[in-house]
């Protein structure tokens, strides 16, 4: 298997997927970069193979990896998450409107989209913490003179999502509509500011180096 790292051949005859990925990871670490894309024979490598490459008994013809400078990757990732929260906020309002109109199935479809974004945001906090090497929940940003702490935001979001789950379990559609239209929408605004502020902090930190 031919292994390509940032458009340059790294290995010409890797015997297994695990060997190829290990070689790419070691090259990225040596350069102080992050692997942000892995393509096998022209198709994105499935997540389960990234997590457990040894489970893949066969091989591919070509494994191509792309890396990025960590700060730039984190900035882009944080800004993309902030943009995604605009969609989540819109879907929450749509879900609340559907509930008011007696269209519960449509409401839960929109709610599922919004909750998917929130799951991704919470995963992002953990992933960024791992990449930066410290607990991101200890960080904070100042927006319009107000300090927004990550740990407090995580706790507040957990409470609001728990309330959403409670309303769904209790079939409290009126309470669910209010939670989506007001409380969780406020969370979307808070987290949008927070993620944008963190992206700016990463940019400033990189500029000072």
Indicate the pLDDT class of residue 94, thresholds 50, 70 and 90. Answer: very high
126-156 pLDDT, tens digit per residue, is 888 777 777 788 889 988 888 999 999 999 9
Percent of the chain with pLDDT over 70: 98
37-60 pLDDT, tens digit per residue, is 999 999 999 989 998 998 887 779
Q: What are the angstrom distances between the C-alpha of 193 and each of 71, 175, 198?
A: 19, 26, 9
Tell the residue number behind the tokens 């960590």, with chain if given.
70
Count other Cβ atoms within 10 Å, centred on residue 121.
Answer: 24
Calpha distance 150→22 (Å, rounded)? 33
- In the predicted structure, residue 206 carries a pLDDT above the cut 80: no
CB of 140 closer than 8 Å to CB of 148: yes
User: 57 is written with which tokens?
Assistant: 């008994």
Calpha distance 20→53 (Å, rounded)? 9
- In the predicted structure, residue 85 carries a pLDDT above the cut 90: yes
- In the predicted structure, residue 162 carries a pLDDT above the cut 90: yes
Full-model pTM: 0.78
> Which stretch of 63-67, 84-88, 128-132 has the lowest confidence by average pLDDT?
128-132
**Residue 155: per-residue pLDDT:** 94
- In the predicted structure, residue 187 carries a pLDDT above the cut 90: yes
Indicate the pLDDT class of residue 208, thresholds 50, 70 and 90. Answer: very low
> Which stretch of 1-10, 93-102, 200-209 has the lowest confidence by average pLDDT?
200-209
Residue 13 DSSP one-character state: -
**Residue 131: per-residue pLDDT:** 75
- In the predicted structure, residue 209 carries a pLDDT above the cut 50: no
> Which stretch of 92-96, 129-133, 198-202 has the lowest confidence by average pLDDT?
129-133
**Residue 64: per-residue pLDDT:** 97
């Amino acid at each position: 298997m031919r292994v390509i790292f940032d458009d340059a051949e790294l290995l010409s005859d890797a015997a297994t997927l695990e060997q190829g990925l290990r070689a790419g990871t070691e090259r990225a670490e040596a350069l102080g970069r992050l692997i942000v894309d892995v393509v096998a024979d022209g198709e994105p490598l499935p997540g389960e193979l990234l997590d457990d490459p040894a489970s893949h008994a066969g091989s591919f013809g070509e494994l191509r990896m792309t890396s990025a400078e960590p700060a730039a990757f984190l900035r882009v990732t944080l800004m993309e998450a902030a943009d995604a929260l605009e969609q989540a906020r819109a879907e929450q309002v749509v879900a609340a409107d559907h509930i008011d109109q007696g269209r519960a199935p449509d409401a839960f479809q929109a709610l599922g989209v919004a909750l998917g974004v929130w799951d991704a945001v919470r995963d992002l906090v953990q992933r960024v913490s791992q990449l930066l090497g410290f607990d991101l929940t200890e960080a904070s940003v100042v927006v319009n003179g107000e300090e927004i702490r990550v740990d407090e935001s995580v706790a507040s979001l957990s409470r609001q999502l728990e309330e959403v789950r409670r309303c769904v379990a209790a079939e409290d559609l009126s309470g669910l509509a209010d939670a989506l239209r007001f409380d969780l929408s406020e969370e979307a605004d808070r987290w949008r500011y927070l993620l944008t502020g963190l992206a700016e902090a990463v940019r400033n930190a990189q500029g000072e180096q």
